[in-house]
Chain A
Amino acid sequence: MITSNLKRLSLVGFLPFIIMNKNVNAHHAFAAEFSVDSPVEFQGVVTKVEMINPHSWIHLEVKNDEGENEDWMVEGGSPNALFRQGITKKSIPLGSEIKVFGYQARDGGLRAVGRTITFSDGTPLFFGGTKLPD
């Protein structure tokens, strides 16, 4: 048995496959994977970049409030369009410091969808068309 909220999300997440003329297209239901009630914002050091389909993942070492290191994974978009414009995983050098604003996994795991990701100085990672929430 699952919550009615999650049931609704399972339908919402796949509308893009039927309605093709919308901006948001996803391989799966992101809101079933990550919680809108768990926004997160942190900065960390890149330890691994996975330019894999259906979605790219950036691994980070993040120091938590207690000073301990945590290993986070941040999910992003399909890398194919990045490759097409000459961007590869080398575009994010290991050891880079990046900032992440996103939403954490529903199970509380150290995973987040990277709603907005920049280098620590605010430089966009790739194209940088997004704004952080006010």
Chain B
Amino acid sequence: MKIKKVILLCPFVYLISSYQAHSQETPRTSWGDPLLQGYWTNTTVVPLERPIELGYQEFYTREEALEILATDVVEQETEFGTVADVHYQLDDYGLSREQTDVVLNLRTSILTVPRNGRLPKLTASAIARSDELDKINAEHGFDSAQSRPYAERCIMWRHEGPPLLPIGYNSNLQIQQTPEFVVIITEMIHDARVIPMRTSAPESAKIPRWQGSSWAHWEGDTLVIETTGFSGRLNAWGTKAEMSTSAKVVERLRRNSEDTIDYEFMVEDPTIWEAPWGGSYPMLATTPPLFEYACHEGNYGLENNLRGARAEEVK
């Protein structure tokens, strides 16, 4: 069945359904693998975690989803003189969701495991570590460039994963394929995962890396990517505690139609969470190219934040 694209509210918002049957003709590379290569967006209004009040409700009705989208894409004006107002307006720069391709599915959360759509309980050691980091940050968070978060330092943004997760804007990625490798490039902040096609971990997985070391194989028409060898320095989701070097992420990508990929993932790190967790969402084909996000090139904000802190100290 052909996937329908419905233009909703404005030209940039699309409704797609990821729950329709897979198209009969999976596009393929010249060497016969399912074709994932292309430019994709995962911008969405679906939150990572399900609102608590929804309990085990996995899906909205179509009407409910449309209403949520309608209210979410409307940019809210911030109130003069409030901290929230100390910011450029997203819609002045084409960064509001009403100016962007939005991929809507009917899910109430990206998380599907556990069943309540919420991150599992943190371990006692993760809570203790997070509290410790909160205290360090409160006392020394602006001491130097090295005490600032990795995102502000243009080193790594958490949504780049793995797993890949949507971010509020520039939530675009490019996939490239050869028979031997798959490359996933995220626009923001311009990192590329070069993933060899193999069935066991490469030797490089023994070397800790920001995004771990990934390898992939095909299960039918689904690309299965496994990743281990994380740095132990990036915070895990929902806590400031660092995801451990022994964490493992499994991602599954399946071309669902000419213009959609279904993306699923599972994450496990027993040092952080009491149980594995995972989720799924659709990606929508988007117009190329990705634009370079040379974060270091113009990161005046890092220096300016430290200037601001020094100014506060002498008051």
Contacts from A to B (Cβ < 8 Å): 1-3, 5-7, 9-12, 14, 16-36, 39, 50, 52-57, 73, 75-85, 87, 103, 105-109, 111, 113-117, 124-131, 133-134
Interface string of B81-97 (1 = CB under 8 A from A): 11111111111111111
Query: Which residues, 50 to 108 on B, are CB-close (under 8 Å) to A?
Result: 72, 75-77, 80-97, 99-100
| Cβ distance B165 to chain A, nearest Cβ, rounded Å | 7
Interface string of B146-181 (1 = CB under 8 A from A): 001101101001110000011111100000000000
B99 CB contacts on chain A under 8 angstroms: 81, 85, 127
| Cβ distance A38 to chain B, nearest Cβ, rounded Å | 10
| Cβ distance B253 to chain A, nearest Cβ, rounded Å | 20
Residue of B nearest to A24 (CB): B87
Interface string of B278-315 (1 = CB under 8 A from A): 00000000010001111101111110110111111101
Is chain B's binding surface mostly helix, strand, loop or mixed?
Answer: loop
A22 CB contacts on chain B under 8 angstroms: 168
Cα distance A106–B137 in the bound complex, in angstroms: 20
- Report whether A127 and B94 are in contact in the complex, using a CB–CB cutoff of 8 Å: yes
Cα distance A54–B295 in the bound complex, in angstroms: 5
Cα distance A76–B91 in the bound complex, in angstroms: 11
B165 CB contacts on chain A under 8 angstroms: 20
- Report whether B94 and A126 are in contact in the complex, using a CB–CB cutoff of 8 Å: yes
Cα distance A106–B89 in the bound complex, in angstroms: 20
- Report whether B304 and A36 are in contact in the complex, using a CB–CB cutoff of 8 Å: no
- Report whether A30 and B87 are in contact in the complex, using a CB–CB cutoff of 8 Å: yes
- Report whether B89 and A129 are in contact in the complex, using a CB–CB cutoff of 8 Å: yes
| Cβ distance B238 to chain A, nearest Cβ, rounded Å | 7
- Report whether A23 and B96 are in contact in the complex, using a CB–CB cutoff of 8 Å: yes
Residue of A nearest to B12 (CB): A85
* B138 contacts partner chain A, Cβ-Cβ < 8 Å: yes
Q: Which of B45, B46, B298, B302 contacts A50 (CB 8 A)?
A: B298
Q: A33-B308, A54-B154, A80-B187 are in contact. Are A2 and B301 (CB under 8 A)?
A: no
- Report whether A21 and B304 are in contact in the complex, using a CB–CB cutoff of 8 Å: no
Cα distance A107–B138 in the bound complex, in angstroms: 20
Query: Which residues, 160 to 211 on B, are CB-close (under 8 Å) to A?
Result: 165-170, 187-189
- Report whether A6 and B309 are in contact in the complex, using a CB–CB cutoff of 8 Å: yes
* B142 contacts partner chain A, Cβ-Cβ < 8 Å: yes
Q: Which of A25, A34, A54, A131 contacts B86 (CB 8 A)?
A: A34
Q: A28-B305, A77-B90 are in contact. Are A7 and B138 (CB under 8 A)?
A: yes
